[in-house]
Amino acid sequence: MSHAPSPDVSAPQGASPAARSIVALSGGVGGARFLRGTLSALRAGALPGVSPDAAVTVVANTADDWWIHGLKVCPDLDTVMYTLGGGIDVERGWGRSGETWAASEELAAYGVGPDWFGLGDRDLATHLVRTQMVEAGYPLSAVTAALCRRWEPGVELLPMTDDRVETHIAIADDEAPSGRRTVHFQEYWVRMRAQVPAEAVVVVGLDRATPAPGVTEAVAGADLVLLPPSNPVVSIGTILGVPGLREALQEGPAPVVGVSPIIGDSHVHGMARQLLDSLGVEVSASAVARHYGSRASGGILDGWLVADTDAHQVDAVRDAGIACAAVPLLMSDEEATGRMAAAATALVLA
């Protein structure tokens, strides 16, 4: 890391004390990549207004979770855990490094599908441990803590809820009596590559879910809340949909600052476009900010970063009552990502 310790960290007299407690909401690959750069910059003292030894709690989306081959798989929790714990396949951005696929090949040889969802051999061990613990009665939060004892991700990693919540996507189907059918999020994303228009997003179980232990407490005790550029519908949107969480952010003491997942009219890598379309939200950085809304007017944001190439949208975000700056937002490497995090904290803390 090239970050020099920053003098910003020791707050000048009269300024607020440096933040010591950070909460981040996260999906999978986008969130994890942002958090890795954020943590390096944080520990190097390069985040304005933040103490280098600040504690970080990550609340991860669990609505992508599903059961396959009798195993409980939690893609976003695992992506964050492997990425921050040094076990991720860096090229792919998900799954284990040094992965092999013998078990998947054996399943295929038995003709047991689905053949579009790869489970690596190393990754399988994680799902076996998790499934045994879940079936023995442990809540997902306790299972996650147990898995993290191996990976030591350097953050407290919490599932958004211990309850079963699953995102399903409604797509057109001429053969169905209603003209549409729903598929599990994984089928939409992994099998269909999100190539079919999403007509609606249905998050089964979300309205009855409760935040996992520690989640609302972490938000209530935070000095800063970060929203990585995770998918605003099926990552951040589902977390905010857990009853009580949006209110905790609105009423909490911490400023909330987010990073746009949209640059120009593109979701960079991912599928945010299809899902924003299904909500009728324009695919732009300022429209996503307005979709989240300002804390002053019942939304959740105090600050929002748009890409330097979207500088013309800054005024539209500010007009919505949200502090805004335009900076490079491509997470091309850890240093570039760390600079994004520094710009985010500077916006609301410095």
Q: How far is the CB of 82 from Ca ion (least distance, A)?
A: 13
Q: How far is the CB of 16 from ligand GDP (least distance, A)?
A: 27
- Tell me if residue 94 falls in helix, strand or coil: coil
Contact pattern from residue 60 through residue 99 relative to Ca ion, giving x for each residue in contact according to CB under 5 A and a dash for the rest = ----x-----------x-----------------------
**Residue 236 tokens, joined:** 């951040």
In Å, what is the CA distance from 22 to each residue of 7, 18, 203, 309? 20, 11, 27, 28
Contact pattern from residue 290 through residue 329 relative to ligand GDP, giving x for each residue in contact according to CB under 6 A and a dash for the rest = ---------------------------------------x
Pairing of strands 166-172, 180-184: antiparallel
**Residue 180 tokens, joined:** 């549409």
Which of Ca ion, ligand GDP, none does residue 345 bind to, with CB < 5 to 8 Å depending on kind? Answer: none
- Tell me if residue 233 falls in helix, strand or coil: coil
Q: How many residues bind ligand GDP, per CB under 6 A?
A: 23
Q: How far is the CB of 305 from ligand GDP (least distance, A)?
A: 8
Can residue 256 be called a binding residue for ligand GDP (CB under 6 A)?
no
Can residue 331 be called a binding residue for ligand GDP (CB under 6 A)?
yes
Give the one residue of 8, 25, 31, 348 binding ligand GDP; rule: CB under 6 A: 31
Within 8 A by CB and 6+ apart from 191, the residues are 114, 116, 117, 183
Q: How far is the CB of 254 from ligand GDP (least distance, A)?
A: 20
| Distance in angstroms (rounded) separating the CA atoms of residues 299 and 290 | 9
Which of ligand GDP, Ca ion, none does residue 29 bind to, with CB < 5 to 8 Å depending on kind? Answer: ligand GDP
Q: Which of 316, 290, 289, 291 is nearest to 304 (CA)?
A: 289
Within 8 A by CB and 6+ apart from 195, the residues are none
Rule CB under 6 A: which residues touch ligand GDP? 26-31, 76, 229-231, 235, 259-261, 263, 267-270, 272, 329-331
